[in-house]
Structure 1
């Protein structure tokens, strides 16, 4: 690996190198929560109201590897709607190889399901989440959500999980995933879900891409919460791409 000023040049890494850098801890017995976000240099989490507006080739490469490694992709309902989420598309051979190495993936190469958090079960049964996927999505909702709405999502192919009476708390959410053996958790947003997980001290690491852009405007940050908190983090690595993209990985101390 070629290192420049204590950072790693992305172009010198093979897919196996990248998998080792982002491997989940071995032999997990509880969910490990990894967040992945992109922001501009001036802190915007979106451009043109979409995180995709900040994407670069380097960000896409790491984005795909993080999905390859995970057991489940956790997102909020607002992000599913605004980003028009469909099912994850991953490489079956790589997923099997990662599983054989004990660092991620899946034994039969299946992609990770999308798990959507929505207290009201307010999702459209005809959305890409249900119609453009290889595996059924998980809808994590509440007992108080309308029964007919939940049934519509079941009929659309979802696995509907009640993880709270009137709200889905991080503790109940992660317990529901853990009970299904989904321990390598990748959350891709949005800011409210990430903020709730951070406030509950439930985030183990953050993978943050800084795109080489200044965008101004009124775009949101990557996390939003009701209260301010201070969570010390340790930088585990920095990757650099030739276009100026910087990819960092931060772990909880």
Structure 2
């Protein structure tokens, strides 16, 4: 593998990270020594060192004195890191990744909507509404994906909780995958718009339990839509 990118450091991190997540290097194994990695990726030792340091920071590797650099298991990966999330998205079977994502969203987003009811400013609510109306006026289903992502992120932002905001923006790419896979048919898209409207109206009306329930119903419907598409294929 001979890398010739604009940014050799970033490309080496990307290539090595993907191969770890794909299982080319197994959990608990020592990473090959630097000269072997240099030959495999066609890069210098300093670049290999920088790549391994970066992957240690992302939880894919751990450096042990007198032992070497060891491959970490999935439970150690920093899945909130945008690179790791991207690699996992590409490596895992579509259904398995969406299962994990829906579980995470169900754990976070309904409670975030309830918190947004308490914390949102009028400007926050207007941003949520703007995203919804942009979804509604989109010319095609594909055009509605960006405002759909913006809608969910606006709710997380409206919590004014920096941890929740960070999670939301880190999951941007994963949200794009999730939404694109669950908005595949006109009837499903129309039903999803109605669910989004229920969420927006509940938050705007400062109805905490209604907002939480509306987001939960939206996500459960999306999960059902994905399962139908996945099973039909």
TM-score, normalized by length of structure 2? 0.26
Normalized per residue, the structure richer in helix is 2
TM-score, normalized by length of structure 1? 0.24
Normalized per residue, the structure richer in strand is 1
Over alpha carbons, which structure has the higher Rg?
2
**Structure number with higher relative contact order (C-alpha < 8 Å, ≥ 6 residues apart):** 1
